[in-house]
Amino acid sequence: MNENILNFPTFTIYNKVMPKKAFYSHLEANAQMKSLFVEYIEQIVWLYKLAPSNLHIADGKEVQEIDILRIKLKQKTKSFLEICRFIDSLSPHHTLFIIEHGAEYQLLVNYKQWKDAKAGTFDIIKTFQSDWVLATSLKIQLDALSSMDSLYESLVRQVASSQITSSKQDLHQAVIETKEAEAIKKEMESIKKREARERQPQKKFALHQEYLRLKAKLVRL
């Protein structure tokens, strides 16, 4: 296993295997979550640790440490999204995941904000995933090194790329608007299908008006 798959500075490498049981034996893990770890996860490695102490940059107001975990899957499944969210819910730090299956890799980040900083708990706002690629194409840059906050924003934007559809400069607002736009589009698709099935003219007209209202709202974002 390449312990520096992202070609980060060697002083950021932590490379510590984390027992799966350390996660699924946690009080918050129900029987279903335990079975997901056992069935789909082969290994979890805490591969990199990014912090002011080793990067020699300013601590952030929101971000004090970024842990990069490498998760090797037994089989490719969407269930790893649920597993990553669970791991993130337990971590007191911001996290970036490297997902590995066979010769393919994917980057994943759960953009989150503090729920209770004293308790070390977060609310996950939205999950972003890169495409599956070979190891030689797995790239992310350590830039925006003015503070931990700016570094985390850079990493999120690199993973998310065009998935962030808002033009807002503030990352939090951009993610919120992107999530809202996705919800509106989903609702529009549902209304369009209902409109196509509707046979009563008045109800069909009302559905079309609601579709146009949502479309106008989407344009305003």
Number of domains in the chain: 2
Which class for 179: exposed (0-12), middle (13-18), buried (19 or more C-beta within 10 A)? middle
Q: Do 61 and 134 belong together in one domain?
A: yes
d(CA 214, CA 99): 36
Asked whether residue 75 is assigned to any structural domain, the reply reads: yes
Asked whether residue 208 is assigned to any structural domain, the reply reads: yes
d(CA 135, CA 138): 5
The position carrying tokens 């559905």 is 207
Q: Do 191 and 133 belong together in one domain?
A: no
Q: Do 180 and 90 belong together in one domain?
A: no
Query: Looking at residue 176, what is its pLDDT?
Result: 94
Asked whether residue 151 is assigned to any structural domain, the reply reads: yes
Compute the CA torsion angle 17, 87, 22, 50 (nearest 10 deg). 40
**What is the domain range of residue 180?**
176-220
φ and ψ at residue 51, rounded to 5 degrees: -150, 160
Q: Do 136 and 186 belong together in one domain?
A: no
d(CA 42, CA 99): 11
pLDDT digits (tens, 9 = 90+) for 126-183: 999 999 999 999 999 998 788 999 999 999 999 999 999 998 999 999 999 999 999 9
Q: Do 104 and 47 belong together in one domain?
A: yes
- Residue type, position 154, single letter: S
Asked whether residue 1 is assigned to any structural domain, the reply reads: no
Closest CA relative to residue 109, chosen from 144, 84, 132:
84
| Residues 131-141: b if buried by 16+ CB within 10 A, e if exposed | ebeeeeebebe
Query: Looking at residue 57, what is its pLDDT?
Result: 94
pLDDT below 50 — which residues of the chain? none
d(CA 167, CA 162): 11
Q: Do 17 and 47 belong together in one domain?
A: yes
Which class for 93: exposed (0-12), middle (13-18), buried (19 or more C-beta within 10 A)? middle
Q: Is the distance from CB of 58 to CB of 148 less than 8 angstroms?
A: yes
Asked whether residue 126 is assigned to any structural domain, the reply reads: yes
Asked whether residue 4 is assigned to any structural domain, the reply reads: no
